[in-house]
Amino acid sequence: MDDVPSAGELSGLGAEIVSTTEPQRLLDGLFHVSGEIPRVTPFERGLPGQVRRTAEDAAWQSDELLMDERWIAVNVKGKGLVVLSACSHAGIVNVLSHARASFPGVKLHAVLGGLHLSGTNEKIIPETIAALKGFGLARIGAGHCTGWRAMAALGQAFGDEVLAPSAVGKRYWF
């Protein structure tokens, strides 16, 4: 397996490297990429036990907050904001709170991605579900790292009308 190419290698191949904590707009403003996600909930504390190394010869450091995580959103005409999150290490409520603050007055329509409520994060399932109810989402596309316990709890709380478990190849139409 090959190593991930360095920023220099990618630039040499014509890629434009963007490394910033600030939000960005892509494709003529159609998509919004968040900047750093503020941590505003008392219960979403990142990924306990997560570590990182900044160089091959560097020591491992605690990185539970994963501050380099981002979300992407598109404002769908007649629906509202569709937020795409990767694993939601920042916490899906923090992600959606940030999306709401980034687009005042725009309805949040859907969130798609992993909710990272498995393993060590299972203990925050009740608080997460209670907070998710406050966003009035029409669709929750919960994926890969949500976990079966959270998926069952989400199903109980939101029903099939809102919860749409994600899997590879699933399509969503908005």
Residue 18 confidence (pLDDT):
85
Which residues make Cβ contacts (< 8 Å) with residue 97, sequence separation at least 6?
38, 40, 41
Smallest CA-to-CA distance from 116 within 53, 71, 174 is with: 71
- Domains of the chain from N-terminus onward: 20-162 (3.60.15.10)
User: Look-up: residue for tokens 């003529």?
Assistant: 28
Q: 86, 111 in Cβ contact below 8 A? A: no
Q: Dump pLDDT digits (tens) for 82-134.
A: 999 988 989 999 999 999 999 999 999 999 999 999 998 999 999 999 999 99
pLDDT band at 1 (very low <50, low <70, confident <90, very high): very low
User: Phi and psi at residue 150, in whole multiples of 5°?
Assistant: -65, -40
Q: Dump pLDDT digits (tens) for 34-80.
A: 999 999 999 998 888 889 888 888 999 988 888 888 999 999 999 99
DSSP H stretches of helix in the chain: 7-12, 92-102, 125-132, 148-162
CA distance 141 to 172: 9
Q: 148, 122 in Cβ contact below 8 A? A: no
Smallest CA-to-CA distance from 136 within 108, 160, 164 is with: 108
pLDDT band at 2 (very low <50, low <70, confident <90, very high): low
